[in-house]
Amino acid sequence: MNHLKEKKEAFAELLEVIETLRKQCPWDKKQTFESLRSLTIEEVYELGDAILEKDLPEVKKELGDLMMHMVFYASLAEEQGDFDMADVLRGICEKLRYRHPHIYGDVRVKDEKDVLQNWEQLKLKEKGRKHKVLEGVPVSLPALVKAYRIQDKVRGAGFDWKKKEDVWDKVKEELGEFEAELRKGDTEKMETELGDFLFAVINAARLYGINPENALEKTNHKFINRFAYVEEKAGIAGKKLNEMELEEMEAYWEEAKRLEEKEQEL
């Protein structure tokens, strides 16, 4: 209980700091919802990077930055007479209690799948009968993340594969249709079929409990590290990459791969 008191005091301190900065700092005085928006998005990505790097000190720092933004938005709204931080916190607490009837009510669930399905159904009930399942997916989400959220949303409404293994037939079907369009050379249809194929692969990842965004970002990170190794080795050999044979670069690539595997074994 004493630890909870410390958390409340620390949060109160942040509220006071933001209030002081808003009144006294020339930069803070000029900020608006619109001016903070892009900075907030940047902070979210920085937090995501720290999580992928498993850098907990950096995660702590980025959480602080993001929390500052949340308090700042609430402070701006309070100035306009719309709502304040207390309204924000009470609102999310009320929503969490409502969407967890298996904790705060008499609903029984078997597992996390039941919890997620109840969550989506309660969201629809909150919005009213005219609300559509996919209206809550932000338009500006990156396409890969959006595809995953779309699939997760419709799953919550009961639209999903009965057996996850069946998704691979769909993946193969979409790959075949893409390959057929490749042979025809129609760029527009190739793009359409590639989109369908990627959507099916993302769906397969979801069904097997893999977040495709995280998986792809790990591969991006791995590729960057391996290519940096190839560049470094080329520099040591006194060569430019565009002067090297592909076989030479591939040899360095495999060397980088073996070093990674050794590090993972340690």
Instruction: Determine the Cα–Cα distance for residues 132 and 136; give it in Å rounded to an integer.
Output: 8
The tokens for 140 are 């500006």
Nearest 5°: the CA angle 192, 194, 196 is 70
- pLDDT at res. 116: 78
- What is the pTM (predicted TM-score) of this model? 0.68
Contacts of 56 (CB under 8 A, 6+ apart): none
Q: State mean pLDDT over 231-236.
A: 92
Residue range 129-154, pLDDT digits in tens? 556 888 878 888 899 999 999 998 89
In this predicted structure, the answer to whether residue 107 has a pLDDT above a threshold of 90 is: no
Helix (H) or strand (E) holding 166: none
- pLDDT at res. 139: 87
Instruction: Give 125's pLDDT tier (boundaries 50, 70, 90).
Output: confident
On the CB side of 141, CA atoms within 13 Å amount to 15
Q: State mean pLDDT over 227-240.
A: 92
- pLDDT at res. 110: 85
Q: State mean pLDDT over 48-64.
A: 93
132 SS3 class: coil
Measured between alpha carbons, how far apart are the two ends of the chain, in Å? 41
Instruction: Give 1's pLDDT tier (boundaries 50, 70, 90).
Output: low
Poorest-pLDDT segment among 115-129, 138-152, 226-240: 115-129
Kindly state the DSSP code that residue 137 receives in the 8-state scheme: S
- pLDDT at res. 246: 92
In this predicted structure, the answer to whether residue 24 has a pLDDT above a threshold of 90 is: yes
Q: How far is CA 107 from the centre of its chain?
A: 30
- Give the mean pLDDT of the chain: 91
